[in-house]
Amino acid sequence: MTTPTHHPSQADSTHPDENRPELSLPGLLLGGALTVGAFMALAALLAGVPAGHHALPDYPDWLSAVTREPAARLQWVLGDISEPQFYKSWVASLGLLAGATVGWWALRAKKPWAGEPIAYGTGLWPWMLGAAGLSLVLSNALFGGSLDSGWQPTFVPFVCVATAVVLVYGRGWTRLFTGAILGAFTTPLAMVLIDHVTGPLTLPPVVANTASMSIGAALAFLLCRALPWMTRPAPAPESQEETVAAEKAAPTLLSDTRWMIRRIITDFTETQFYANEWASIGLIIGATVTTVLNPSFASYGTGLLPRIMLAQALTSAIGIILWRHLYRDGGWAPTYVSVVSVAPATVLAYGDSATALILGAVGGAVLCPVIARPVSKALPDDFHPFIGNTVSMALATAAIVPAIGHLV
C-alpha cells in the first residue's frame, strides 16, 4: 500500500468502512455503560487478588535489578511499550504486540473480524514497529544508564517521532533509521523537562513526557526538510472499491452499541498509532494477567492498574459521547488523548479517590479535544498532526490534575 499525502493519523483519520451518517445517543450510552461496567467488574475482581508470594517481583525490586540483570533490563525495554498507558509491564507489552500481530495478519488476509485497520490502513505497521522499536532500543542504550538513580522516561520515543516520520514519509530503510535516530533524543529532552520544569512545579511527569514528544517531533520534522533523502511519496489514487464498500445499511441501536464498545477499546492503543481492537484486547489481557501475577508490579508498584483502566474506559466513553458529531460519516475525534494523560495521571495522583477518578475522566474528555484539534489543524502539512494531541496531553494534564487537588 502507498502512504497517502493526506496521511491518516491520530489527529485526522477517516475509515471508509465506517460511513455512519448518524450515531444514536441511546446506542452510544448503552455501549458506553456496558464497557465501563465491564471495567468496573474487572477492577472489583482484581481487587481480590491475594497478597503474599507472587510470580512477578514488586516494582521497586524489579527497578533495582534493571541495571544489574540482563533479563530485567530486557523486561524494562519491553515494559516501555505499554508505559504510555501507565501500565509499565512487559507482560502487557507482549499482549499488545501479540494482539497487534493478529490485527495486522487479519487485515492482510482480509478477514471480516480484523477490526479497525491497524495503523489506519496505511499498510505501514511493520515499518512503524521497526522504527519505534529501534528508537526505543537506542533510547535505552544511550540514556538508560541514568536508571541507576531510578525511573527514567526511556519509553518516550516509542510513541512519537519514529512512527510519525514513517507515517508522513512512508516506507523505506532510510526513513526508518532517520525516524528512529531522531526519536531517541526525545528521552533526554523529557529528562531535562522533568528535572527543571515539571519537577519543581510538582506537576505529573506525563506533562514533561508529552511536551518532549511535541517539541522533539517539531524539531525532527524541521530537520527532515533539510535531509535530501527525506522526500514524501506521491498521493495514492482514490479507490473506487472503498467508495462502494462504504455504502452500508443505516445504523441501528445494536450497531451503534457495538460500534461504541469497539471505539472505546480502540482508544486504548491509539497512542501507539495502532488503533486496533485486537491490539487493545491484547494489551488489556496482558495488564490483567500482570495484576494477577502481582498487583504491586505494574503501574510503578502502586496497585492502581485496575482503577487506571477503569478511568481510561470512562474518559473514552464520555469523550466519544460528547464529541460524537465528529465521528459521523467515518470521521474521527482525539478522544484517546485523555486515556493516556489526564485520566490515568489523576488516578496516580489521588489513588483510591472515586471523586478524583470521575473528575479526571470528565475533565480530560471535555478539554483534551478542545486543545488538540486547533493545534493539529494549524500545523504545516509535513508535520504529523499527532503533535496537537501531545500538546493537549501536556496542557490539559498540567491544568486538570492540580485543580482536582482543590476539590478532593
Domain membership of residue 25 as a residue range: 11-45+253-275+304-408
Is 401 a member of any domain? yes
And the C-alpha cell for 368? 483534551
Is 391 a member of any domain? yes
Write the CA distances from 236 to 2, 3, 122, 170, 265, integer angstroms.
6, 7, 10, 12, 29
Q: Look at the alpha carbons of 75, 272, 265, 317 in this order and tell me if their dihedral is positive or negative.
A: positive
190 has a pLDDT exceeding 50 = yes
pLDDT digits (tens, 9 = 90+) for 28-72: 999 999 999 999 999 999 998 887 678 999 999 999 999 999 999
Is 388 a member of any domain? yes
pLDDT digits (tens, 9 = 90+) for 343-398: 999 999 999 999 999 999 999 999 999 999 999 999 999 999 999 999 999 999 99
Q: Which residue has the cell 510519525?
A: 164
pLDDT digits (tens, 9 = 90+) for 258-308: 999 999 999 999 999 999 999 999 999 999 999 999 999 999 999 999 999
Contact 183, 135 (CB under 8 A): yes
Residue 190 CA to residue 146 CA, distance in Å, equals 13
Q: Look at the alpha carbons of 143, 147, 141, 223 in this order and tell me if their dihedral is positive or negative.
A: negative
Torsion angle in degrees (nearest 10) through CA of 83, 300, 145, 142: 10
Buried b or exposed e, range 273-299, using 16+ CB within 10 angstroms: bbbbbbbbbbbbbbbbbbbebbbbbbb
Contact 277, 18 (CB under 8 A): no
Is 33 a member of any domain? yes
Angle at 215 between CA 214 and CA 217, to 5 degrees: 65
Buried b or exposed e, range 177-197, using 16+ CB within 10 angstroms: bbbbbbbbbbbbbbbebbeee
Q: Which residue has the cell 455503560?
A: 33
Residue 12 CA to residue 337 CA, distance in Å, equals 13
Instruction: Work out the widest C-alpha separation in the chain, in whole angstroms.
Output: 60
Name the domain count of the chain: 1
Q: What percent of the chain has pLDDT over 90?
A: 84
Is 359 a member of any domain? yes
Is 155 a member of any domain? no
Quick one: pLDDT band at residue 23, thresholds 50, 70, 90? confident
Contact 338, 364 (CB under 8 A): yes
Question: Counting Cβ atoms within 10 Å, is residue 258 exposed (0-12), middle (13-18) or buried (19+)?
Answer: middle
Question: Counting Cβ atoms within 10 Å, is residue 406 exposed (0-12), middle (13-18) or buried (19+)?
Answer: exposed
Cβ within 8 Å of residue 379, ≥6 positions away: 385, 387, 388
